[in-house]
Structure 1
Amino acid sequence: MASRQQEESWTEEAICPICLDFFTDPVSLECGHNFCRSCITQCWEKERNSCPECRQEFPEINLRTNRVLANLAEKARKFKLNQKEKERKLHCEEHQEELKLFCETDKKLICLICRDSREHREHRFIPIKEAVEIYKDGVKSSLDSLTQKKSTVLEMEQQQKQKISQIRKQSVSLQSHITSEFTKMHQILTEKEQRFIRDLREEEEKILKTMEKIFVKFRRI
């Protein structure tokens, strides 16, 4: 814990109080406080020439390059990058140690402390890099197989879409044909109906005329 606090303490010394980031081209004011050159310049463009820390005013701008602080800031920047790189590495949840081995028996990544535990006694271990090479081919083979299956499924899907499209076209065509045929049949039936009605009326006229003639004869008698 003390080591961690010491690390944070010396890196904080390399942070600019204006931008809250590591110093870039740090300069010192006459009061002894330090800032990035660009930060203090921009600050003084908006306000009078005074120290943002202690508020001491200066009649003239006198910025002195602080090379020692520049070197410290560069070291702090690299240190933080290395810390982030370490944090990105895989660590054992139980022991907080870096995972360096692959347990072939349990098929899982473990740390050196896990290797010596009872849980993994008499298990087979190999370095992670070696395990990656061994299982890489298997993963590639599985990926190729999945890619092939995906391609087959997509091809079948495309074929089904084409069939659905064909069925819809056939259905539309059949509906149009049925409508056309029924229209023709309706027209034929209408014509027959009109012809039957016309023939019926003509026959009716004939019968009525004949009956009228007969009626006229009877009246004369």
Structure 2
Amino acid sequence: MASHSSKKAVTIKKRFVSQVKPLEPVVKYVTPGGYELEKILHRDSVEYTHINEVWPNVWIGDEESAKNKHNLKKLGITHILNAAEGTWNSVDTGTEYYSDMDVVYYGVVAEDTTTFDLGQYFFSAADFIEQTLSITKNKLLVHCVMGRSRSATLFLAYLMICRNMTLVEAVDHVKKRRRIIPNWGFLKQLRNLDTYLVELRDGGAKENEREPL
């Protein structure tokens, strides 16, 4: 029997899929291969820093930035998505850590390994980000340990799912604002998501015909 959380994830996914808009490219877009995508990631990327604003009211950061409550208050952070909760190579914050702040906390238990299925969180994390940004005054920190792989992957997926970006457009947007290096497995999962969404936008796939990940 499917769990309540898995049923909720399916419901969230179906809602986002129903809102996918068609692309109108001059030249038909094709999801890049793994090596090509890595080249795109490294080309003209900015230098690494602890935290960067990558979207209006959205910052991607590392463990240090997530634990610096003084700076979080200074930035006016109201929501936190921890993409490295409760695992090996994790950030041990959580709701209790921010109990003295007016912050909404959302944790994702994920490992930064090439075999970990981060894609299972793409739609639920996108939902959290979208709901957060639906209120103009909210400000969001998305982080993991280094702020380059898990957190970056989830935010790239958000841009693809909710902002109608292709994977290349999402990468181009974020890398100009933050140094990101999703691991090889996460890149493959993002490429699968990209292919899935492109097919939906082109009318070549039905939501129930195939899974994106």
- TM-score, normalization: structure 1? 0.19
Higher relative contact order (CA 8 A, sep 6+): 2
Q: Which has a greater percent of helix? A: 1
